[in-house]
Structure 1
Amino acid sequence: MTTTAALLTDPAVPTAAPGPGRLRRMLRSRRLVTGLTVLVLFALAAIIGPFLVGDPNAVSTDLNQGPSAAHWLGTTQLGQDVLAQLVVSARGTLFIGVAAALVATVVSIVIGIGGGFLGGLADEALSLLSNVFLVIPGLPLVIVVSAYAHGGGMPATVLIIALTSWAASARVLRAQTLSLRSRDYVLAARVYGERRWRIVLVEILPNELAIIVSQFIFAVVFAILTQAGLAFLGLENPLDLTWGNMLYFAQNAEALSSGYWWWFVPPGVCIAAVGAALSLVNFGLDELLNPRLRVHHEPRQKKARLQKKGAGA
């Protein structure tokens, strides 16, 4: 997922200029269209779905029932409808993923671009801070902090994941900023007396937008997987409805050994589908923004003429 960030740090790689053909190239990218379609479906399910399904915590006498007309995805050991839990849990899971990614991206922008642009002592201090977070193993740090803040709810989970996953992105943005701040247009802005904040927002930040978007997508995937892992280990608030907590309760009820596949397969498939969709969007944006990765499509008429010429030869 770091293809865009890796290639755009090379000054020799030009970025795609905005133009009327950008939308056509977006619609032509099967990866991007497929990924966006899946994400839109999950977003609609998370926003509208909870109003269409019943109470996910409502119990019934249908215990551990498989998929049927009454319960499309079966029930749990308490008779709770798995489909209702799956739909309602989509809202919590996507909220944690997007919110944690936003916080981590903002922190990485402030520290990475701010330190790279200011230079000097500020850059050294912020770079040292990034190195400290990079040296500390991420997963053990998340587990320790989550265990300390157990029961804090979704806001605590968002902060824990965000504050332990920004360092790598900040290092990439710092390296790109160090390259951009010596460009002619940045130096010209300094000579004209432009303020620092305006140089960063107008001259530097737009040129790093592709890297930021790619890192944001990766941060969403990381946040969703991390939350699911923490919930599976029992380090999350069990009252929060997320796909990870569904897996946690299925594990505690020994659903795998008992053959209750309808309890743990749907949330696992949803996590994998969201991760795959985000990956497709990232790869599609790589093809759109990087000329080296863009596939050239011949016009249909020209392709037909070439095929006819080849057949005649």
Structure 2
Amino acid sequence: MNAFRASLIPFWRNRVARLGTIILCLFILMAIVAPWISPYSPQDSNFSEMLSPTLAHPLGTTQDGHDVLSQLIYGTRVSLLVGFVAGLGTTLLSLLIGLLAGYMPGVVDEVLSYVTNVFLVLPALPLMIVLAAYAPVKGEYLIVIVIIVTSWSWGARVLRAQVTTLRTRDYVVAARFSGDGVMRIMFKEIFPNMMSLVAASFLGAAISAILGEAGLEFLGLGDPNINSWGTMLYWAQNSGAMLQGQWAWLAAPGLCIALLGTALVLMNFAVDELANPRLRRN
């Protein structure tokens, strides 16, 4: 516990990382207390259509008479959930393949490296669009699976390179000669020494997942009936929000996506500081 607290000191001392953490916590808090801070229900359509921002509707209304601010607040839940679940799934898959390929040279490494190289050269966005477009079902679960399938390869390549350098360390060799199993060595000896790299991989995967979810929803490849920032952009574009003067409907979710992505990038700066002692401040 003391070591964990000590590792947080350089993280919190980093001003940009502290700013990113605060922004992320505000979004998480908004998602948790959405029923209490939202002025209306996101399904309430009893208002005039395509209203510009007013006191009663600070961000205006949609083409169906929904309050944009209420949809924005509730949409935080889906966007955060998809981003972090897909980011976690991507990181776990990358970690598993990276550990196996890096620690087990020979046939296992060659096969896994070949598969990784194939996915690395595939264009992620077109592949993501094709998988989402031709899937028999639509929804957030599909988007999560598509993002994981198309995004794991880069992280796996980076983690494999790190494991390759760690497997020859004295403590790993000692554990091998003492009779420890492969899984124990990988997860008890190697994994704890690359936590900062795994954390950076997760933050990068979460950023890609949030942007990927918004992009797929904007293209209409998700479930348009689910309230998220991506579906808000989809309906705003389809309804010609800018042409009708309802700029806030389009700008608000786009700004939230940008702010959330920026927060995760800023937090990544502190992770780099933890991973590289030369970057730490006194």
Match of 1:30 in 2: 15
Residues 1:123 and 1:23: Cα distance change in structure 2 (over 3 Å): closer
SS at match of 2:151: coil
**TM-score computed with the length of structure 2 as normaliser:** 0.94
1:128 to 110, 114, 129: 114
Q: Does structure 2 conserve the Cα–Cα contact (< 8 Å) formed by 1:150 and 1:237? A: no
- What is the CA distance between 1:150 and its match in structure 2? 6.1
SS at match of 1:85: helix
Number of residue pairs matched by the alignment: 280
SS at match of 1:265: helix
- What is the CA distance between 1:28 and its match in structure 2? 2.1
SS at match of 1:164: helix
Match of 1:48 in 2: 33
Match of 2:169 in 1: 183
Match of 2:210 in 1: 224
> Over aligned residue pairs, what C-alpha RMSD do you find?
1.7
| Residue ranges of structure 2 left out of the alignment (5+ in a row) | none
Q: Does structure 2 conserve the Cα–Cα contact (< 8 Å) formed by 1:231 and 1:248? A: yes
| Match runs of 1:58-137 below 5 Å | 58-137=44-123
Q: Which range moved further: 46-55 or 157-166?
A: 46-55
Match of 1:283 in 2: 269
Q: Does structure 2 conserve the Cα–Cα contact (< 8 Å) formed by 1:26 and 1:33? A: yes
> Which structure would you say has the larger Rg?
1
- What is the CA distance between 1:149 and its match in structure 2? 1.8
2:43 to 31, 53, 57: 57
SS at match of 1:165: helix
1:240 to 226, 238, 241: 226
Q: Does structure 1 conserve the Cα–Cα contact (< 8 Å) formed by 2:197 and 2:275? A: no
**TM-score computed with the length of structure 1 as normaliser:** 0.85
- What is the CA distance between 1:21 and its match in structure 2? 4.9
Q: Does structure 2 conserve the Cα–Cα contact (< 8 Å) formed by 1:50 and 1:84? A: no
Letter of the 2:205 partner, please give it: A
- What is the CA distance between 1:20 and its match in structure 2? 6.3
SS at match of 2:279: coil
Q: Does structure 1 conserve the Cα–Cα contact (< 8 Å) formed by 2:19 and 2:263? A: yes
Match of 1:258 in 2: 244
Residues 1:154 and 1:51: Cα distance change in structure 2 (over 3 Å): farther
Letter of the 2:105 partner, please give it: G
Identity %: 46
